[in-house]
A and B are shown apart, each in its own frame.
Chain A
Amino acid sequence: MGVISTKTSAWFNGKPVIFLAGSPDNLRRLPFRPWGRKNLAACIVPAASKFTPPPKIPCIFDVPRDYCADLRDGDVVLIAPDGRIMVVYKAGSPYNSILATNRCNSLCVMCPQPPDRDPDDLYENNLQLISLLDPKTTEELGITGGEPTLLGEDLITLVQTCRQKLPNTVLTLLTNGRRLKDLEFARALVKAGSPNLLIETPLFADNDTEHDAVMGAKGSFYETLQGLHNLALLGQPVGLRTILHAMTIKRLTQYAAFIYQNLPFVFQVAFMGMETRGLASKNLAQLWVDPFDYQDQLAHAVRYLARRMVPVSIYNHQLCLLPRELWPFARKSITDWKQAYPPACDTCSQRECCGGIFGTGEKHSAFLRPIS
Chain B
Amino acid sequence: MPFRFSPVASNRMLVVNEVGEFIFLDRQTFERLVSYDLAPNTGIFLDLKGKHFVTDTAVTPVIDLLATKYRTKREFLKSFTGLHMVVVTLRCNQRCNYCHASSQPTDQQRWDMTPETAVNVVHKIMESPSEVIKIEFQGGEPLLNFEVVKTVVREAKRLNRKKNKHLDFVICTNLTLVDAPTLEYCKKEGITLSTSLDGPKEIHDRHRLMRTGEGSYDRFMQNLHFSRSILGHDGVNPLMTASQESLSHFNEIVDQYAALGFQGIFLRHVNPYGYAQNDATIQSFVYPMEDFVEAYKKALLYIIELNLAGTPLVEGYACILLSRILTPFCTGFVDLQSPTGAGINGVIYDFNGEVYPCDEARMLAKMGDRRFYLGNVNRDSYLDIFTSPVLQELIEVSCVETLPGCHSCPLQPYCGADPVRNYAIQGDLVGHRPTSDFCMKHKAIIEFLLELIDQDDPGVMDVFWSWITNRTLAEVRGEAPCSN
Contacts and interface: CB of A to CB of B under 8 A. Distances in A.
A226 interface: yes
B481 A328 contact: yes
Interface stretch (A11-19, A37-45, A72-80, A204-212): A204-212
A207 B465 contact: no
A327 interface: yes
Interface string B27-51: 0000000000000110100110111
B64 interface: yes
Interface string A322-360: 000101111110000000000000000010111100000
Contacts of A302: 478
A254 interface: yes
B483 interface: yes
Interface in B442-479: 458, 461-462, 465, 469, 471, 476-479
Interface stretch (A170-178, A193-201, A306-314): A306-314
Most buried by A among B43, B50, B481: B50
Contact of A257 (B50, B56, B65, B469): B50
B69 A206 contact: no
B46 A207 contact: yes
Given A208-B58, A261-B328, A306 B477 contact: yes
Interface size class of chain B, counting residues whose CB lies under 8 Å from the partner chain: 35 or more
Contacts of B47: 251, 254
B325 to A, nearest CB: 12
B40 A209 contact: yes
A354 B49 CA distance: 38
Contact of B61 (A226, A250, A312, A354): A226
A330 B480 CA distance: 12
Most buried by B among A225, A302, A352: A225
A302 B477 CA distance: 10
Contact of B484 (A261, A309, A330): A330
B465 A307 contact: yes
Nearest to A261: B328
A225 B482 CA distance: 33
Contacts of B483: 328
Main DSSP-derived SS at the A contact region = helix
Interface string A254-281: 1001101110100000000000000000
A332 B483 CA distance: 10
A312 B65 CA distance: 23
B248 interface: no
Nearest to A305: B478
A307 B328 contact: no
Contact of B465 (A209, A308, A312): A308
Interface residues of A, number: 39
A363 interface: no
Contacts of A257: 50-51
B61 A209 contact: no
A129 B154 CA distance: 61
Interface string B321-335: 000001111000000
B328 A306 contact: no
Nearest to A232: B68
B10 interface: no
B479 A209 contact: no
Contacts of A210: 46
A229 interface: yes
A247 B65 CA distance: 24
A354 B482 CA distance: 10
A209 B46 contact: yes
B401 interface: no
B57 interface: yes
A294 interface: no
Nearest to A308: B465
A222 interface: yes
Contacts of B46: 206-207, 209-210, 251, 254
A303 interface: yes
B21 interface: yes
B484 A307 contact: no
Contact of B458 (A264, A303, A329): A303
A226 B56 CA distance: 19
Contacts of A260: 327-328
A306 B476 contact: yes
A208 B57 contact: yes
Interface in A118-152: none
A320 to B, nearest CB: 13
A352 B484 CA distance: 8
Given A206-B46, A209-B41, A264-B328, A328 B58 contact: no
A235 to B, nearest CB: 16
Given A225-B61, A306-B478, A262 B484 contact: no
Contacts of A312: 478
Most buried by B among A206, A219, A307: A307
Nearest to B20: A261
A306 B477 CA distance: 7
Contacts of B51: 257, 261
B461 A262 contact: no
Most buried by B among A208, A257, A325: A208
Contacts of A331: 484
Contact of B461 (A209, A225, A307): A307
A85 to B, nearest CB: 32
Contact of A353 (B68, B69, B462, B482): B482
A202 to B, nearest CB: 17
Contacts of A205: 50
A328 B481 CA distance: 6
Contacts of A222: 58, 61
A226 B58 CA distance: 13
A285 B41 CA distance: 21
A312 B480 CA distance: 13
B21 A207 contact: no
Contacts of A329: 478
Nearest to B464: A307
A207 B50 contact: yes
Contacts of B58: 208, 219, 222
B479 A258 contact: no
Contacts of B469: 307-309
Nearest to A326: B478
Contact of B50 (A254, A325, A355): A254
B54 to A, nearest CB: 10
Given A260-B328, A303-B478, 6 more contacts: A208-B58, A219-B58, A262-B65, A262-B69, A264-B327, A330-B484
19 contacts: A209-B40, A209-B46, A226-B61, A250-B43, A251-B46, A257-B50, A257-B51, A260-B327, A261-B51, A262-B68, A302-B478, A303-B477, A307-B462, A307-B476, A308-B326, A325-B477, A325-B479, A327-B482, A355-B484
Report, nearest first, the 10 A-B pairs whose CB atoms are least far apart.
A206-B50, A222-B61, A307-B465, A306-B478, A328-B480, A207-B49, A353-B484, A353-B482, A207-B50, A261-B328
